[in-house]
Structure formats: structure tokens, C-alpha cells
Amino acid sequence: MRTGKDRLLAGLMLAPSLALLAVFVYGFIGQTLYVSFTDWGQGAALALNPEIHFVGLDNYRQLFSGILDVRFRQDLVNMLFFTLFFVALCLGLGLLLATLLDRPLRGEGFFRTVLLLPMSLSFVVTGTIWRWLLQPRGGVNVLPALVGLPRLDFLWTTTRDQVFRFNWQDVPGALLLGVGLVLVLLGVRAWRRREARKAGLLGVPGLVLVLWAALGGAAGWSLVPIKELHGFNLALVGIVMAATWQMSGYTMALYLAGLRGIPVELREAAEVDGATPLQVYRYVQLPLLQPITLSAVIILGHIALKIFDLIFAMTGPDNAVTSVPAILMYLTTFRGNQFAKGASIATLLLLLVSMLIIPYIVSSLRKAPER
Amino acid sequence: MAVLVVALAAPAAVWAQGRLSGELEIFSWWAGDEGPALEALIDRYEQLYPGVKVINATVTGGSGVNAKAVLKTRMLGGDPPDTFQVHAGQELIGTWVLANRMEDLGFLYDQEGWQKVLPQQLIDLLSTDKGIWSVPVNIHRSNVLWYIPDNLKKWGVSVPKTWDEFLQIAAKLQAQGVVPLSLGENWTANHLWENVAIAVLGPQKWQALWDGRLAWTSPEVLKAWETFGKVLQYTNRDAASLSWQQATDMVVHGEAAFNVMGDWAAGYMSTTLGLEAGKGFGWAASPGTSGIFVMLSDSFGLPVGSPNREATLAWLEMLGSREAQDIFNPLKGSISPRLDSDLSKYNTYGRSAAQDWRNSTIVGSLAHGVVANERFMNDFATVMEIFLSTRDPQAAANAAQAVAAQAGIGVR
């Protein structure tokens, strides 16, 4: 009887939040999704009752293959490269700093505070500071001059130089090849476990895909009519630096807590067995930090995927070389009045972020009942 | 006292009987340097209509990037301000008029006789066949070439009259280690493009481009992109990271010879930098555009559903008056669109601009919202990026043609 009453009370307490969540999160996600399948009034997008036609996936098709949406594709590439470098650098730097701070060190508190401080700033402030630092005629470019060396003339956030260039036409082929390879690998793994049926189901289609892609079958699948090169804009280096400066203190704190959480007995046991400090680090401490790396990747990854304010503050809305889909979404929607296309970009961003978050939530929910 | 002021100041208006009350919310992006000019207008309004409580709803951010987003959420959410600042012309027409969100102000023009004091070419740019949509408060000129006379003498060059002449001078300047033309971020590149294009096309074909009578892929427009590409070779490499003020600074500091910018640069140089107009800095129509006045204008309109319509009409009526315009424009650093404005209230540059306003062919600016709607302008930034990356006139022209088709340019 008591539990029944408790449950009722709990339900009542949760109901308002659930209702609000349903409307303001899931309802609006649904609304955005719906808008992305329409043409929303075309020219008269701001009319009181805009003419709305259902156009299916047309907005998405344009984003990936329309001639005018070349900027979206470069922004997407920018975002993926930015995420990759930002997450890798934050993890590397954070781990390095945490390892250094973990040793007995005078003034540890001081260093910890200094390294964590950038995180207390908002991205807008960070962006403004780094915008000054990365001015081509000032900031870091004149640093070498202080010691008598020639000034740098790198155009930090505005250079049009690109590395890792690839042709957008090759993307579908490469994706299919990738999927094929993964399927083949999974098939081989199943074969080794002597699950012949599963191996066949995965391996054979995989092999077909790989062969098809390798023999040039995907060449007819070009997304755009002409060759379209995209790559990593070197202008993003400055953005990655600023973002890493802000967030590496956070990974440091995570790793430091992780290192401190490892029982001393483990290290002592390893030392008794004759492990060198390097071996203790490599075989005892690092593996135990894995869950921390995972959560850091999730947190940093979703920050990177939806980054907006840092770049807006650092380079403004129209500097396309450092632009990302979130900025393009803002411009498309609120400056260009193309609500439907803006909604499509928003939906794609949501998809990307959920590809990162949902597996994490699922895995942590699975673990929960074991407790 | 208040009654006396009202009676003296606004004899014509029916609503100006001192009985007007309620609120008036004025939505704009005039903060910072432009704040005092707006404040002066509001002061004047409060003197005229002491019963009305004015709410100055300013959203900061250059050329209204943030303000426009806020305005859109408010309008779509059914909470329009009483009146809002908007660049006159297609930025208003292609966005709000097309959406049936604005009231026709033709009756106000008739009642106040503005058709007689405003140039017809201006009224054409503010109108569609269904009405006149806003009251222009000021006029800025966007086709101005700025320089420092002493520096030009030192470098042994004169002010170029055409872009061909500029290209010759530019080589000479470059040999002396001077940047021939300073440039700033993306929108200033659009601004420069428009100056080059108007010079190449001339006023009639420029207008034809916006009516759909001239295709973006026509040889004339290709020529404009080609010339623009040549001019770009003589600009600074770090353009994209500079604001327009920093680009102007390059000229002032003697690092660059020329800069093409709107005439707010005159305010910046004379007020902020303390240079004397005519001596400390000089100006001319940008190459190939003498006799042409490329204009942009800030204006206010009357949204459908404005909560305090009467008070707003009184505001609009005051805005169009010669007196209010001569209060506002000297402070803002712009000129009055009215042909009867009191030139003694303006500075040296302002008087020169007002003379040109009266004697030139008037055309609208693309970069500042007069001739194209917001969708085209937004996508044109991408066209510009395509050109800046590829330097391919044909690619840019094709993209611009596609953008124009999608944005409904030429199908008015």
C-alpha cells in the first residue's frame, strides 16, 4: 500500500517535467523534422499563413548534392575535422597534464587552478581573446619578433589553404567501401567464433560491396555533376587551438580524478611483481582510465559537433573558411529566411550528435540493472 | 507648455492634438555611435507627444545581424513591435511586404507631400505596384573612394576615374610597397563587387539585373566579375580578418592608398580619428561611377498589427519631416533624403554628398539591402566565397544566376 502511494506521488511529481519535456523537446524536434520535409512558403516564408508544400527529402538532397549548397558540404567537412582534432588534442593534452600533476609536485593546487581556469570562461570570451591573438598583424604572429626572429605571416583564421583534400564525388563510393570492409571484418570475426551462418550473412554482402566499390561500381553514384574538392581548411587550426585551450583543463581534471581513484594497492602489487613505472602506467593505469576517456569523448564530441559561439565570436558569420553547419543553419534560417532548409541542417546536426550520445546512453542503461 | 510646443510643431497631423497616449515601441539596431542620433529623435517625439511612453528596443550588432533574428522571432510569434528599423527597399519588400506583414504608407506620403520633396528614383526603390512601404530617415552613399591627399602626392599618383586607370596606378603603388586598395571581411568584398559591377554595367543595366531583364550569365556581368578579379589582386591578403574600420585605418596609416566604403567612413575618420574632411582625408566617387549615387537608407515602416498604430503613425510622420531629419542626420553622419534639407546643419562631407544626391542618377545598393531580398543577399555571400576561392568568373556567374532564380529576383 505504501509503495503504491509512493509511486503515485512520484508520478505526480514527475508528470509536469515529462509533459514539458514532451512538448518542448520532443514536440519541437518533431516540428523541426516536419518543417525539414516542406518548402515553407518559399519567398514569403514570413507570411502569417505561409504556403507549405510537402517536398519529402528534397532539402536533404540539395544539401548533399545541390550546386548551391557547396558551402554546407565544406562546413560539414570542417566540422568533422574540427571534432577529430579538438577531441584528440584535448584528450592527449589533458592526459599529459594530469599525469604530470599526479606526481608529487609543489604548488599542485596552483597549476590545477590555472589549467582549469579557461573552462570558467564562456566560448564567446575565449573567442574574442583568441581573435585578438590571431590577428595577422598582431598577437602570436609578432611573437618571434620579440626575440629578434622574423614575424610570422600566417593568416590564422582566414587562410584558404587546404590539406587532406578529397573529391566529394568519391564520398558515396568510399562510404560503401567502408561499410563493406566493416561487414567483412565482422564476418571474419564470426567465422573465428565458429558461427558459420552469421559469418555468411555478414561476410558475403560485405565482400560483394567491397568488390563492387573496388571495381568502380560506385563511380556512377557521384553526388555532384562536377569535381568538387573539400578538405581541412588550415584556417581552422586557430579555432582548434582556442577550443583546446578552453577544454583541455576539463579533461585534465577528469583524468586526474581518475588517476587518484586508482587504488594504491594495484600499483604496489605491480611494483612488487617488478613492473617499472612506465609499465605500471601502460598496463595498470591507462587501461583503468578507459571509461573516463569514453565519457570525455562523448562530452567533447557533442560540444564540437554543435559548436557555434566560439566560431561566431572569433571570425564572424561570413568567414566561410571556418564555418560549421551550426553557423550555416543560423544564417540560412534567420538571415536567408529559408526555414525548411535551416530545419534540415538542424536535423542533420541532431542526427550526428545522437550517433554519439545514443550508444552511450544505451550502454549506461544496460549497465544500470547490474548495480 | 507642452500643448504650445505641439501646436507650433505639427499643425498638419490629425492625431497631433496632444491627446495621443499609450506606448510606442521602436525596434532598431542603433546602439553605440548611432545611439545619440536615435535618442535625439526620441527626445523630439516626446516633446511633441508627451502622453506617449517611448520604449527604445535596441538590439546591438553591426548592420542588424542579431536584431533581424530577434525581429523575426517576434513577428512570427505574433508580438510585432510598433515600428522597426529596416534597410529601405527589397530587404523590406522581399521579406515583410511579400509576406503581407506591412501596411502601405502611400496615404502618409500623399498627406505629407513627400512625393514632392523626395527624388522619384528613391520612391521607386521603396515601392511596389501595391504601395510605398517605409519612411526613409537617412541616406548613405556606398560608392565612395577614400584616400589621404598628402599620401597620394608623396606616392606620385592621382585619384583614378575608372577601374582601368586604377589598375595602372595600382602597379605603380605596389612597386612602392603600398597596398593599392584596402579591403575587409566578406561583406566589404560584396560592397566592392557592387562598386565594380555598377561601374562596368552602368545604372540602366544594373537596374535591369534586378528586374530580370539582364541575366547574371550575360557577357556584361561576366566582365564585371573579371574586372573585380583584377582589382582583387591589388588588395591586402589578410582582408577577411579585418573590419571595415581596420581597412580604413590602413589608408589612414599610409599602408594602403585607397579604400572603397560607404560614407559612414567619413564619420569614422572625422569624428573618431579627428581628421579634417577635405584635408586630412579626401574622397571621390568610386572609379567609373561619377554622376551615380549608389544609395542605401535606413527606414521605418508600419507592421500589420502594430499595437499602437496612432502613436506609430505620429512617429512616422515626424520621421519624414524636414526638421526631424535635420536633427538626426548630422548626428548620424548621413544626409537627409529630402531635397529641401537645411545644408547649413551638415559638415563638409555631408554638404558635398547632399549636392551629389540632388544631381546624380540614383541607384540602389545590393550589399545594403536596397535591390535584393534577404534570401538573395544571404546566398550572395556564398557566391562571393565561391569566387574568392576559385577566382572563376563563370562559376560565380552561374551560381549567382541560380541564386537569383531561387530567390525570385526578376519575377516581381
The model's confidence at residue B62, banded by pLDDT at 50, 70 and 90, is low
State the pLDDT at residue B83. 95
Alpha helices (runs of H) in chain A, residue ranges in sequence order: 2-21, 28-36, 58-65, 70-102, 108-120, 123-133, 143-146, 171-192, 196-214, 236-261, 264-272, 277-279, 286-288, 290-305, 309-315, 325-330, 339-367
Sheet holding B256-261, edge to edge: B179-182, B256-261, B144-147, B282-285
**Dist CA A94 CA A244 (whole Å):** 10
Residues of B in contact with A44 (CB under 8 A): 98-100
| CB contact B59 to A (< 8 Å) | no
Window 61-120 of B: residues touching A by CB (8 A cutoff) are 65, 68-69, 72, 75-76, 94-96, 98-101
Beta carbons within 10 angstroms of residue A355's beta carbon: 11
Q: Is the per-residue pLDDT at B20 higher than 70? A: yes
Residues of A in contact with B100 (CB under 8 A): 44, 47-48
Residue B283 parent element (H or E)? strand B282-285
Candidates A152, A115, A122; CA nearest to A135 is A152
**Dist CA B38 CA B58 (whole Å):** 10
Query: Is 1.10.3720.10 the CATH classification of the domain at A70-161+237-311?
Result: yes
Q: Does the distance separating the beta carbons of A337 and B374 come in below 8 Å? A: yes
Residues of A in contact with B406 (CB under 8 A): 68
Which cell is B386 given?
565561391
Q: Would you call B167 exposed, middle or buried from its count of C-beta atoms within 10 A (0-12, 13-18, 19+)?
A: middle
Residue by residue, DSSP assigns A262-303 as S-HHHHHHHHHTT--HHHIIIIIIHHHTHHHHHHHHHHHHHH
The alpha carbon dihedral of A204, A206, A211, A217 has a sign of: positive
Q: Is the per-residue pLDDT at A220 higher than 70? A: no
Contacts of B172 (CB under 8 A, 6+ apart): B155, B156, B157
| CB contact B403 to A (< 8 Å) | yes
Chain B closest CA to A44's CA: distance in Å?
5
Residue by residue, DSSP assigns A14-82 as HHHHHHHHIIIIIIHHHHHHHHHTB-TTGGGTTSSS----B-TTHHHHHHHH-GGGHHHHHHHHHHHHH
Q: Which of A28, A48, A314 to mutate to test the interface with B (most CBs of B within 10 A)?
A: A48
State the pLDDT at residue A105. 76
Query: What is the signed CA dihedral for B331, B337, B339, B341, rounded to 10 degrees?
Result: -20
Residues of A in contact with B94 (CB under 8 A): 43
A288-338 pLDDT, tens digit each: 999 899 989 999 999 999 899 999 999 988 888 999 999 999 999 988 889
**Dist CA B367 CA B381 (whole Å):** 9
Contact present, A59 and A36 (Cβ < 8 Å): yes
Chain A closest CA to B374's CA: distance in Å?
5
Q: Does the distance separating the beta carbons of A43 and B98 come in below 8 Å? A: yes
In this predicted complex, what is the ipTM?
Answer: 0.85
Contact present, B272 and B333 (Cβ < 8 Å): no
| CB contact A128 to B (< 8 Å) | no
Candidates B303, B297, B298; CA nearest to B25 is B303
Contact present, B378 and B403 (Cβ < 8 Å): no
Sheet holding B83-87, edge to edge: B52-58, B22-28, B83-87, B298-300, B135-136
Which amino acid, residue B243?
A: S
Q: Does the distance separating the beta carbons of A319 and B186 come in below 8 Å? A: yes
**Dist CA A80 CA A88 (whole Å):** 12
The model's confidence at residue B18, banded by pLDDT at 50, 70 and 90, is low
> Who has greater pLDDT, B64 or B240?
B240
For chain A, what is the mean pLDDT? 89
Q: Is the per-residue pLDDT at B281 higher than 50? A: yes
| CB contact B394 to A (< 8 Å) | no
**Dist CA B263 CA A158 (whole Å):** 27
Contact present, B283 and B144 (Cβ < 8 Å): yes
* CA nearest to B61 within chain A: A316
The alpha carbon dihedral of B271, B275, B276, B279 has a sign of: negative
| CB contact A126 to B (< 8 Å) | no
Which cell is A103 given?
606526481
Task: Pick left, alpha or beta for residue B333 (phi over 0 → left; psi -120 to 50 → alpha; otherwise beta).
Answer: left
**Dist CA B35 CA B175 (whole Å):** 43
* CA nearest to A233 within chain B: B389
The average pLDDT across A82-96 equals 95
- Give me the residue from A42, A48, A68 closest to B100, CB to CB: A48
**Residues B311, B106, B139: CA angle, nearest 5 degrees:** 80
B382-404 pLDDT, tens digit each: 899 889 888 999 999 999 999 99
State the pLDDT at residue A209. 86
Q: Is the per-residue pLDDT at B5 higher than 70? A: no
Which cell is A42 given?
518559399
Cα separation of the two ends of chain A: 26
**Dist CA A161 CA A235 (whole Å):** 8
CA B18 from chain centre, in angstroms, equals 34
Chain A closest CA to B11's CA: distance in Å?
37
Q: Would you call A154 exposed, middle or buried from its count of C-beta atoms within 10 A (0-12, 13-18, 19+)?
A: middle
Chain B closest CA to A167's CA: distance in Å?
15
> Who has greater pLDDT, B186 or A48?
B186
Residues of A in contact with B378 (CB under 8 A): 331-332, 335-337
- Give me the residue from B100, B241, B377 closest to A155, CB to CB: B241
* CA nearest to B237 within chain A: A155
| CB contact B405 to A (< 8 Å) | no
**Dist CA B14 CA B313 (whole Å):** 10
Q: Does the distance separating the beta carbons of B403 and A335 come in below 8 Å? A: no
| CB contact A216 to B (< 8 Å) | no
DSSP, res B32: G
Q: Does the distance separating the beta carbons of B408 and A43 come in below 8 Å? A: yes
A16-74 pLDDT, tens digit each: 999 999 999 999 999 999 999 998 877 677 887 888 889 999 999 999 988 889 899 99
Beta carbons within 10 angstroms of residue B370's beta carbon: 26
Beta carbons within 10 angstroms of residue B92's beta carbon: 25
The model's confidence at residue B190, banded by pLDDT at 50, 70 and 90, is very high
| CB contact B402 to A (< 8 Å) | yes
CA B49 from chain centre, in angstroms, equals 30
Which cell is A337 given?
529566411
**Dist CA A37 CA A25 (whole Å):** 19
Which cell is A99 given?
599525469
State the pLDDT at residue B10. 43
Contact present, A144 and A151 (Cβ < 8 Å): yes
State the pLDDT at residue A267. 85
Q: Does the distance separating the beta carbons of A319 and B240 come in below 8 Å? A: yes
| CB contact A321 to B (< 8 Å) | yes
Q: Does the distance separating the beta carbons of A337 and B65 come in below 8 Å? A: no
Chain B closest CA to A352's CA: distance in Å?
24
Residues of A in contact with B394 (CB under 8 A): none
> What pTM value is reported for the model?
0.87
Q: Does the distance separating the beta carbons of B378 and A335 come in below 8 Å? A: yes
Q: Does the distance separating the beta carbons of B98 and A320 come in below 8 Å? A: no
Chain B closest CA to A282's CA: distance in Å?
45
Candidates A328, A349, A339; CA nearest to A68 is A328
Q: Does the distance separating the beta carbons of A336 and B375 come in below 8 Å? A: yes
The average pLDDT across A93-108 equals 87
The model's confidence at residue B14, banded by pLDDT at 50, 70 and 90, is very low
Q: Does the distance separating the beta carbons of A45 and B99 come in below 8 Å? A: yes
Chain A closest CA to B7's CA: distance in Å?
40
